[in-house]
Structure 1
Amino acid sequence: MTDTLTDTASDTGPEPGYPIDRSPRCPFSPPAGLRELQATAPLRKVRLWNGSAAWLVTRYEELRALAGDPRISSDILRPGFPQVSLGSLERARRQTSFLVMDDPAHARLRRMVTGPFAVKRIQAMRPEIQRLVDELIDTMLAGPSPADLVREFALPLPSLVICHLLGVPYADHAFFQRNSAALLNRNSADRATEAQRILTDYLDGLIGEKLARPADDLLSALATEQVATGLLERRDLTAIAILLLVAGHETTANMIALGTLALLRHPDQLDALRATDDPARIAAAVEELLRQLTVVQTGLRRVALEDIEIGDQMIRAGEAVILAIDAANHDAAVFSEPDRLDLGRDARHHVAFGYGVHQCLGQQLARVELQVVYGTLYRRVPTLRLAGDPAELPYKHDSIVYGVHELPVAW
């Protein structure tokens, strides 16, 4: 698959394939093909892996309008829904989380887990997150240099945090990290399906333990307050647990590693971040890195419930829609010089966490974790540098969530 669509980006030409590979020369920006579509055909039909077509939305204004439109469905089981990979529909039939449901079912399930992710509760976790960050840095510095930042730091931190919040034993982190990565791989349907089964069995068993011996954690609270009382099916709690466990560490881990790589490749921005202890400036840096990198790289998938006229196009009922949040976050009509990393930019209105009622539940937790990491790691390790050839880094082109499999660093 090419990263340019020079011959296919017109309104009348053949439908380009989607997703589009990023260029090795520009690993922190959306694919050149997406940018070309954004400039020439911001609502354009593309061809998916199974030969089906979908409307691809690449501009910020149209994306937000559609993401907030109740005539657009997130229900993965509806006919016409643009499946992300082979096997995703079958896995959804076996187990569906509120992420791919519509209201009122989506709202009912989401409300059950909203409390622990409220801003005040997440802010109360900041001292513990800071302690974990410092301990992981201490451990890394006590070990050999160079080291893999993904294995030694980026993965352990969000895994420790989400395990503590949910009540999942961190001793099992290698097991669920391995299966989470397989579940997010869009090129291996069999592995993803098996990973879903394995995680389902594991978390269903853990929920059984919570019902028998509740502890002070989110899964125990949901099991005893919702499942035991008949307000929530046990299979629904298992689906929620998988969503929170996988999303709770994968996206943040990739942002930690990829954000560090981006900063190391932009030393002027890294120097500015390292020089400040102003929480507001660190928070702004987090928002800009979230905008610039936008690790969800296969778009937000939807299907139209009614005919919708937007711009000069008509999306018909039953047609698939993909909201390309990575392209929207690089829309020059909204973000000046969007490919330039500028930690002083006001990027708070980015759509890296989505938009509308399905906006990411755990976004405040991710923000606090990233603020602590970006505000601590580079000051504590001022000589941190990339070890090895950046051209040889293994990027996650095959995953729903973008990042690097490894990040060798030295100090």
Structure 2
Amino acid sequence: MTAIPIAIPAKPALPTIRRYRATGLLTAAVFAALELGAALAGGAQWTEMINPPGLLACYLATFLTPAPSLLRAGSDRVELSFQLFLALKALLVIVIIGLMWWRTRPALKCAPILKHLALAAQLLAALALNSLAFHLLVAVQLGALLPLRRALACLAIQILLGVGVDMLMLASASQELGDGRFLTLMAIFSTERCLLMLGFALAWLARQELQGRMQLAASHAQLRATQSLLGDTVRASERMRIARNLHDAVGHHLTALNLHLDLASRQSGDKPATALATARELSHSLLAEVRGIVSAERQEQDIHLRQALQLLCAGIPAPAIELSMDAQADACSPAAAHTLLCCVQEAVTNAVRHAGASRLSIEIRGKGDVLLVHIADNGNGSGDAPEGNGLRGMRERLAAHGGVLRTGSAALQGFWLELSLPMKGVQA
């Protein structure tokens, strides 16, 4: 098996995905630095701890320090509460950033339930922090990673839970807040919920734009591959037409001319004219050359399947495609090459749209008079989903040319297809 190195000058979607992920992680780190830095700068006296970590820190400090009295001002309890608050806040920030890094890895392979639990854990941590910045990070992930309906449902849950936490925090601190400050905080919290919806919408639009670019690039690659194979087929058909015309027109006329020259030579007696003998020789030579040209044109029907597949694989932004193809597979007929290209295109399209795969391998080899193709990805697999129109169309196309299709899927191991197709079963 000879592997084909595919030179890809640029795959626009892959750098874009990496940039989005890096931007999100950098933003999370900046938010974490601002959150913790503001608390450190404010100190125990100016930092408001009216969120779950702050309340928990105050509760724990009451067990770890003596109660204030006439002899003790209670500053040690305040300081310990502040330190515990910072520690809990830093822990929650680390949890959010760590889960965000793990959840957005391009090559992540795990059960879908674990991915959903990671988002749920980030949401709970953001609720505990009661921070707009980290709520916004979770909302952006919902819009960027989940299907629209599920993402909207999760966003609604996030907003309702956030409102509930806000109400609890305001209720616990209502004695320390005046009416004016209470209304101001309510207005701030309402604005925060609107910002969550705005961040969700922007993330969803960015996701749609990226998916549109990937599908456009995939369609362009398929068009180039089809155009390449179609050009080879058209050239082969044109050579066949020229060969037939030479055989039917020029060849027949030269044969008739030879017959008449032979007749003229016999009628001229024992000593035919020198010019007549020369004409006979030239006519026979020309007829032999025409027959040689016709035979060569009929045989030269090369179909560059390898080139078409290279164009297809090189133009797909994601997943990364590894193509291997042996020399024997290059000798297939135009009809077999077209059928194989259509099947590979369908498999690549399914991997791009549905599999969520980061890698796709295509192995093509010849065994006797049969093409054997193995295509596998590392995506989500098909699960119990029924076979779609694409796979049914592949089966019908292969069956029409004497081929067979087998498919399979395993949890967390992707989806695979095995095709067998006669190399010379159908001639163009």
Normalised by the length of structure 2, the TM-score is: 0.20
When Rg is computed on C-alpha atoms for both structures, the one with the higher figure is 2
Indicate the structure with greater helix content.
2
Return the structure number with greater relative CO, CA threshold 8 A, min gap 6.
Answer: 1
